Amino acid sequence: MRSIAVLLALIASAVGQTTPTRVSPDDAAKHLMKRVSPDYPPLAEQAHIQGNIILEISIDETGAASVHRLVSGHPMLVPAAIKAANQWKYQPFEIDGKPAPVITLAMVTFGNPANHTAEDRTEILLQDAFWRAVESAQAALAKRDYAGTEDQLNKAKDLVPPDGPDLHHIPERWQWMTTMGYLRMAQQKYDEAEQYLRKALALRESRAFDKDTPELAASFANLGNLFVEEKRSDLARENFVRSVAIYQQDFKKVGAGSPGAQQVYGRAIAHQSWVLFNLAKQRNDTGDADKECRTVLDFQNFLSAADRESFVSACQQQASDPAKP
d(CA 10, CA 249): 16
* Average pLDDT score over residue span 11-20: 52
d(CA 128, CA 2): 21
Confidence of residue 241 (pLDDT cuts 50, 70, 90): very high
d(CA 325, CA 322): 8
**Residue burial 159-192, b: 16+ Cβ < 10 Å; e: rest:** bbebeeeeeebebbbbbbbbbbbbbbbbeeebee
Please state whether 168 falls in left (phi above 0), alpha (psi between -120 and 50) or beta.
beta
Q: Is 236 exposed, middle or buried (0-12, 13-18, 19+ CB in 10 A)?
A: buried
Closest CA to 212 of 223, 202, 204: 204
Confidence of residue 13 (pLDDT cuts 50, 70, 90): very low
- What's the whole-number average pLDDT of the chain? 88
Closest CA to 224 of 251, 200, 194: 194
Closest CA to 73 of 35, 105, 29, 34: 105
CB 297 within 8 A of CB 312: yes
- All structural domains of the chain, each given as residue ranges with its CATH number in brackets, are 2-230 (3.30.2420.10)
Q: Is 305 exposed, middle or buried (0-12, 13-18, 19+ CB in 10 A)?
A: exposed
Give pLDDT tens digits for 62-79.
999 999 889 999 999 999
Q: How many Cβ atoms from other residues are within 10 Å of residue 132's Cβ?
A: 16
* Average pLDDT score over residue span 265-286: 95
pLDDT at residue 323, rounded to an integer: 59
Give pLDDT tens digits for 40-54.
999 999 999 999 999
pLDDT at residue 318, rounded to an integer: 82
